[in-house]
């Protein structure tokens, strides 16, 4: 079952309904691979529905987050804003790597984190509702560019100019 169908089922189970604007926001988010901000979802969705309001996108994303079907993440090095992605997927417990040069975000599983969570519960009790792991560094492409420029001539702006 695809993500939008799963969200529709969850909405119905909680008494919500799938409006055309909610579906548009979900479809827009489902097509994204870059963890967009609410403003980026809004800009992309407005291409199909020019009358869409930014406040509708914010409200819908927050409501979907409360339902557990959309996740949000904040990354270092940018203005404080949440980035969103589908929370119901084949790998719901994924984590993130963010390149400090090109801002690429890579999702990855972290099975060892499950061991840490179980160990924490065994030692301290309670329950863990969520966990987030973010690595920061250079992606493979940016690392190769830095290595080719050499450490003494490292200029992130020059490297970024060559990545575009």
Residue 11 has pLDDT above 80, yes or no: yes
- The alpha carbon of 85 is separated from its chain's Cα centroid by a whole number of angstroms, namely 4
Token pair listed for 152: 């003494």
Token pair listed for 92: 């719901």
- Share the mean pLDDT of the chain: 81
Task: Summarize pLDDT for 104-162 with one digit per residue, the tens.
Answer: 888 787 788 888 889 999 999 999 877 778 888 999 999 988 888 765 455 555 555 55
Task: Summarize pLDDT for 61-99 with one digit per residue, the tens.
Answer: 988 888 888 877 777 766 667 777 776 544 456 678 888
Element (H, E) at 98: strand 94-99
User: What pLDDT is attached to residue 91?
Assistant: 45
What share of the chain has pLDDT > 70, as a percent?
A: 82
**Predicted TM-score of the model (pTM):** 0.62
Domains and CATH numbers, the chain: 1-92 (1.10.10.10), 93-164 (3.30.1490.190)
- Cα distance between residue 6 and residue 46, in whole Å: 24
Any bridge partners for residue 71, and if so which?
Answer: 85
Element (H, E) at 58: helix 54-67
Sequence-ordered list of residues with C-beta below 8 angstroms from that of 111, at least 6 positions apart, any chain = none
Mean of pLDDT values over 9-30 = 89
Residue 54 has pLDDT above 70, yes or no: yes
């Amino acid at each position: 079952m695809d993500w939008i169908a799963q969200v529709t089922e969850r909405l119905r189970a909680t008494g919500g309904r799938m409006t055309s604007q909610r579906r548009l926001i979900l479809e827009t988010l489902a097509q994204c691979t870059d963890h967009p901000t609410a403003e980026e979802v809004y800009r992309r969705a407005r291409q199909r529905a020019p009358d869409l309001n930014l406040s509708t996108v914010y409200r819908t994303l927050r409501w979907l987050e409360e339902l557990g079907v959309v996740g949000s993440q904040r990354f270092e090095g940018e203005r404080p804003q949440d980035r969103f992605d589908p929370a119901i997927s084949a790998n719901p417990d994924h984590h993130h790597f963010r390149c400090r040069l090109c801002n690429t975000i890579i999702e990855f599983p972290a099975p060892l984190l499950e061991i840490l969570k179980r160990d924490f519960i065994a030692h301290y009790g309670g329950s863990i509702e969520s966990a987030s792991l973010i690595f920061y560094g250079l992606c493979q492409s940016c690392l190769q560019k830095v290595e080719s420029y050499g450490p003494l001539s490292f200029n992130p702006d020059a490297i970024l100019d060559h990545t575009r």
